[in-house]
Amino acid sequence: RVNVFRKIVKDMGAKSVSLQKEKLRHIEDLSSFERGKYIKINSQVYLIPFPTDEEFFGYIVNGQFASVISLLDPQNPSDTIWITREKNILLRYGVHYVNLPVSDETNKNAIKILLDSLPKIKKPYVIHKYNSEDPIYALIVNKISSLKH
Protein backbone atom coordinates (compact mmCIF):
# COMPACT_ATOMS: atom_id res chain seq x y z
CA ARG A 1 0.00 0.00 0.00
CA VAL A 2 3.02 2.27 0.28
CA ASN A 3 3.28 2.21 -3.52
CA VAL A 4 -0.41 3.12 -3.81
CA PHE A 5 0.18 6.12 -1.51
CA ARG A 6 3.30 7.08 -3.46
CA LYS A 7 1.27 7.02 -6.71
CA ILE A 8 -1.45 9.25 -5.22
CA VAL A 9 1.07 11.81 -4.01
CA LYS A 10 2.89 11.76 -7.35
CA ASP A 11 -0.41 12.17 -9.23
CA MET A 12 -1.12 15.23 -7.08
CA GLY A 13 2.01 16.86 -8.48
CA ALA A 14 4.66 16.15 -5.87
CA LYS A 15 8.10 15.88 -7.44
CA SER A 16 9.30 13.35 -4.91
CA VAL A 17 7.99 11.30 -2.07
CA SER A 18 10.34 10.91 0.86
CA LEU A 19 9.20 7.47 1.87
CA GLN A 20 11.75 4.72 1.92
CA LYS A 21 11.64 3.00 -1.46
CA GLU A 22 9.61 -0.16 -1.39
CA LYS A 23 9.98 -2.63 -4.21
CA LEU A 24 7.12 -2.19 -6.65
CA ARG A 25 5.20 -5.44 -6.81
CA HIS A 26 4.72 -6.57 -10.38
CA ILE A 27 1.94 -8.78 -11.70
CA GLU A 28 4.55 -11.27 -12.89
CA ASP A 29 5.60 -11.82 -9.27
CA LEU A 30 2.38 -13.84 -8.95
CA SER A 31 2.07 -17.40 -10.20
CA SER A 32 -1.70 -16.83 -10.44
CA PHE A 33 -4.50 -14.72 -9.01
CA GLU A 34 -6.88 -16.11 -6.41
CA ARG A 35 -9.61 -16.55 -9.05
CA GLY A 36 -7.33 -18.17 -11.63
CA LYS A 37 -4.33 -17.78 -13.86
CA TYR A 38 -3.40 -14.64 -15.74
CA ILE A 39 -2.02 -14.51 -19.25
CA LYS A 40 0.58 -12.03 -20.45
CA ILE A 41 -0.46 -11.02 -23.96
CA ASN A 42 2.56 -8.70 -24.28
CA SER A 43 4.55 -6.42 -21.96
CA GLN A 44 1.64 -3.98 -21.66
CA VAL A 45 -1.45 -6.20 -21.86
CA TYR A 46 -2.57 -8.88 -19.42
CA LEU A 47 -5.74 -10.95 -19.26
CA ILE A 48 -6.58 -11.61 -15.62
CA PRO A 49 -9.41 -12.84 -13.44
CA PHE A 50 -11.21 -10.26 -11.25
CA PRO A 51 -8.70 -9.22 -8.57
CA THR A 52 -9.30 -9.59 -4.86
CA ASP A 53 -8.83 -6.44 -2.75
CA GLU A 54 -5.24 -7.47 -1.96
CA GLU A 55 -4.53 -8.04 -5.66
CA PHE A 56 -6.11 -4.69 -6.60
CA PHE A 57 -3.93 -2.77 -4.15
CA GLY A 58 -0.78 -4.82 -4.62
CA TYR A 59 -0.74 -5.14 -8.40
CA ILE A 60 -3.35 -3.01 -10.17
CA VAL A 61 -3.63 0.44 -8.51
CA ASN A 62 0.04 0.68 -7.51
CA GLY A 63 0.97 2.63 -10.64
CA GLN A 64 1.71 -0.36 -12.84
CA PHE A 65 -1.42 -0.05 -15.03
CA ALA A 66 -3.06 2.96 -16.65
CA SER A 67 -6.35 1.20 -17.45
CA VAL A 68 -8.54 -1.73 -16.48
CA ILE A 69 -10.95 -3.22 -19.00
CA SER A 70 -13.81 -5.16 -17.50
CA LEU A 71 -15.72 -7.69 -19.59
CA LEU A 72 -18.35 -8.09 -16.86
CA ASP A 73 -21.94 -7.43 -17.95
CA PRO A 74 -23.89 -4.65 -16.17
CA GLN A 75 -27.11 -6.33 -17.39
CA ASN A 76 -26.22 -9.43 -15.35
CA PRO A 77 -27.27 -8.86 -11.71
CA SER A 78 -24.48 -11.10 -10.38
CA ASP A 79 -21.89 -8.91 -12.17
CA THR A 80 -23.21 -5.51 -11.03
CA ILE A 81 -21.83 -5.76 -7.48
CA TRP A 82 -18.35 -6.46 -8.84
CA ILE A 83 -18.59 -3.68 -11.42
CA THR A 84 -19.61 -1.14 -8.77
CA ARG A 85 -16.87 -2.27 -6.41
CA GLU A 86 -14.23 -2.08 -9.11
CA LYS A 87 -15.33 1.34 -10.40
CA ASN A 88 -15.10 2.77 -6.88
CA ILE A 89 -11.60 1.42 -6.30
CA LEU A 90 -10.26 2.52 -9.67
CA LEU A 91 -11.83 5.98 -9.49
CA ARG A 92 -10.34 6.53 -6.04
CA TYR A 93 -6.85 5.63 -7.26
CA GLY A 94 -6.93 7.30 -10.67
CA VAL A 95 -6.88 4.20 -12.87
CA HIS A 96 -8.97 4.49 -16.04
CA TYR A 97 -11.92 2.07 -16.05
CA VAL A 98 -13.53 0.75 -19.23
CA ASN A 99 -16.49 -1.63 -19.28
CA LEU A 100 -16.84 -3.60 -22.52
CA PRO A 101 -19.18 -6.45 -21.63
CA VAL A 102 -18.70 -9.78 -23.38
CA SER A 103 -21.19 -12.22 -21.94
CA ASP A 104 -20.45 -15.27 -24.09
CA GLU A 105 -18.40 -16.49 -27.00
CA THR A 106 -21.34 -16.31 -29.43
CA ASN A 107 -21.75 -12.54 -29.03
CA LYS A 108 -19.74 -11.54 -32.10
CA ASN A 109 -20.82 -7.89 -31.89
CA ALA A 110 -19.53 -7.49 -28.30
CA ILE A 111 -16.25 -9.18 -29.26
CA LYS A 112 -15.87 -6.84 -32.27
CA ILE A 113 -16.53 -3.77 -30.06
CA LEU A 114 -13.89 -5.00 -27.62
CA LEU A 115 -11.28 -5.62 -30.31
CA ASP A 116 -11.99 -2.30 -32.05
CA SER A 117 -11.72 -0.41 -28.74
CA LEU A 118 -8.41 -1.84 -27.53
CA PRO A 119 -6.09 0.39 -29.63
CA LYS A 120 -7.78 3.50 -28.17
CA ILE A 121 -7.28 2.54 -24.50
CA LYS A 122 -4.27 3.85 -22.62
CA LYS A 123 -1.63 1.19 -21.94
CA PRO A 124 -0.50 -0.66 -19.99
CA TYR A 125 -3.77 -2.33 -19.11
CA VAL A 126 -5.40 -5.46 -17.79
CA ILE A 127 -8.53 -7.06 -19.20
CA HIS A 128 -10.64 -9.30 -17.02
CA LYS A 129 -13.61 -11.56 -16.62
CA TYR A 130 -14.60 -12.83 -13.17
CA ASN A 131 -12.43 -15.95 -13.25
CA SER A 132 -10.20 -17.76 -15.69
CA GLU A 133 -12.67 -20.66 -15.92
CA ASP A 134 -15.15 -18.48 -17.83
CA PRO A 135 -15.61 -19.99 -21.33
CA ILE A 136 -15.01 -16.60 -22.95
CA TYR A 137 -11.53 -16.40 -21.40
CA ALA A 138 -9.80 -18.66 -23.95
CA LEU A 139 -11.60 -17.04 -26.90
CA ILE A 140 -10.58 -13.56 -25.77
CA VAL A 141 -6.97 -14.69 -25.31
CA ASN A 142 -6.89 -16.04 -28.87
CA LYS A 143 -8.55 -12.96 -30.39
CA ILE A 144 -6.37 -10.45 -28.53
CA SER A 145 -3.17 -12.41 -29.11
CA SER A 146 -3.76 -12.23 -32.85
CA LEU A 147 -3.98 -8.41 -32.76
CA LYS A 148 -0.91 -6.27 -33.27
CA HIS A 149 -0.46 -4.12 -30.17
Model confidence over 63-119: pLDDT tens digits? 899 999 999 999 999 999 999 999 999 999 999 999 999 988 888 999 999 999 999
Q: What is the dihedral of CA 59, 83, 36, 124, to 10 degrees?
A: -40
End-to-end CA distance of the chain: 30
Quick check: 98 and 67 in contact, CB under 8 A?
yes
Q: Peptide bond preceding 124: is omega within 30 degrees of 0, i.e. cis?
A: yes
Residue 62, classified by CB atoms within 10 Å of its CB into exposed (0-12), middle (13-18) or buried (19+), is buried
Q: What is the pLDDT of residues 41-56, one digit of tens each?
A: 999 999 999 999 999 9
Parallel, antiparallel, or unpaired: how do β-strands 45-49 and 39-42 relate?
antiparallel
Predicted local confidence at residue 144, as pLDDT: 80
Q: What is the pLDDT of residues 15-38, one digit of tens each?
A: 555 555 556 789 999 999 999 999
Predicted local confidence at residue 10, as pLDDT: 58
Predicted local confidence at residue 135, as pLDDT: 86
